[in-house]
Amino acid sequence: MIDQGKFNVLGVQISAVDYTAAVERIISAARARQPLGASALAVHGVMTGVLDREQCHRLNQLELVVPDGQPVRWALNWLHGAALPDRVYGPTLMLRVCAAAEREQLPIFLFGSDASTLERLAQKLREHFPHLVIVGRRPSQFRQLTPQERVELIDEIRASGACLTLVGIGCPRQEVWAYEFKDDLSMPVLAVGAAFAFHSGQLAQAPAWMQARGLEWFYRLTREPQRLWKRYALLNPTYLSLLLLQACGVLTLQPSRGQPPRTPKLYG
């Protein structure tokens, strides 16, 4: 098990962990009914913290932020000598957490996406984990919630008996959600990105050889060029340039640059 703590990557504190340590952190908090915000960040997720100081603060308030993308793992190894042998890929982390929740009979709640995707996802999870207890699911409304709706959602999840909530509403909304809901829910909130779409069969994952070489972004770009081209054309070169500046000691963005949000976003 590898858990070296957190290290600064462009002002965002990334956890240098492996799958075993990440699952143990999440499941331990679920057992104890303790709040824990967790997310798997690729380059896009890190850059949201670089470009938005409020988002930087939110990310750095999450207890567990794992290196979802190979370039984020490479940054930990290059800048901090973490020597991580593999990334902690969000969709795989989700399955490993579900397997552990099944073993320990810890009920889970699914939040995000749409109703049909959640139905397919729940079906697929039950096929893989027959004894996994899914006590509730709620699709996203794809808008900001009113304060009353937020209270109702918290009450629904707590009343379900869930010990763990999985959130799939896309970056950066899901990290905002984890930051804003984890304490009131008093349980781990795991933001898993596109894992809902992957595991429900809605989207295909990149081949393993592309994932290993940090080319998953290119595969996704070929599948959704209109939605993703700006993200990768602008953010990937900026990420690499800033990493080089941090490695050379020319510019180091500090976690302290984050600013507490002035108002909640209440995504739902």
Sign, CA dihedral 27-31-33-34, equals negative
User: Average pLDDT, whole number, for the chain?
Assistant: 92
pLDDT of res. 225: 78
Cα–Cα distance for residue pair 163/189, rounded to 1 Å = 9
pTM of the complete model: 0.92
Give the tokens for residue 1: 């098990």
pLDDT of res. 231: 74
Length of the chain: 268
Cα–Cα distance for residue pair 219/215, rounded to 1 Å = 7
Alpha helices in the chain, H assignment, sequence order: 19-32, 43-51, 53-61, 70-80, 90-104, 115-128, 147-159, 173-185, 195-199, 208-212, 216-223, 225-230, 236-248
pLDDT of res. 235: 85
Mean pLDDT in residue range 21-41: 98
Cα–Cα distance for residue pair 261/53, rounded to 1 Å = 9
Cα–Cα distance for residue pair 125/102, rounded to 1 Å = 10
Give the tokens for residue 38: 């967790």
Residue 221 within any structural domain of the chain? no
pLDDT of res. 25: 98
pLDDT of res. 24: 98
Higher pLDDT, 217 or 104: 104
pLDDT of res. 227: 78
Residue 89 within any structural domain of the chain? yes
Residue 235 within any structural domain of the chain? no
Nearest to 88 by CA among 192, 163, 204, 238: 192
Q: Residue 70 maps to which CATH number?
A: 3.40.50
Cα–Cα distance for residue pair 75/100, rounded to 1 Å = 29
Whether the predicted pLDDT of 228 surpasses 90? no
Nearest to 218 by CA among 197, 236, 200: 236
Residue 106 within any structural domain of the chain? yes
Mean pLDDT in residue range 90-101: 97
Residue 126 within any structural domain of the chain? yes
| Distance from the first to the final alpha carbon of the chain | 35
Residue 241 within any structural domain of the chain? no
pLDDT of res. 141: 84
Whether the predicted pLDDT of 220 surpasses 90? no
pLDDT in tens, 107-120: 999 999 989 999 99
Residue 223 within any structural domain of the chain? no
Q: Which residue has the tokens 């709640």?
A: 109
Q: Is 50 helix (H, G, I), strand (E, B) or coil?
A: helix
Residue 68 within any structural domain of the chain? yes
pLDDT of res. 144: 86
Give the tokens for residue 167: 């959130």
Q: Is 10 helix (H, G, I), strand (E, B) or coil?
A: coil
Cα pseudo-dihedral 199, 202, 207, 210, rounded to 10? -100
pLDDT in tens, 168-203: 998 999 999 999 999 999 999 999 978 888 888 776
pLDDT band at residue 19, thresholds of 50, 70 and 90?
Answer: very high
Cα–Cα distance for residue pair 177/227, rounded to 1 Å = 22
Q: Do the strands 188-191 and 3-9 form a parallel or antiparallel pair, or are they unpaired?
A: unpaired
Domain that holds residue 95: 3-193+253-257
- Give the rounded distance of the alpha carbon of 99 from its chain centre: 18
Total of domains in the chain:
1
Q: Do residues 164 and 135 lie in contact, with contact meaning Cβ atoms separated by under 8 Å?
A: no
Q: Answer whether the bond into residue 172 is a cis peptide, omega within 30°.
A: yes
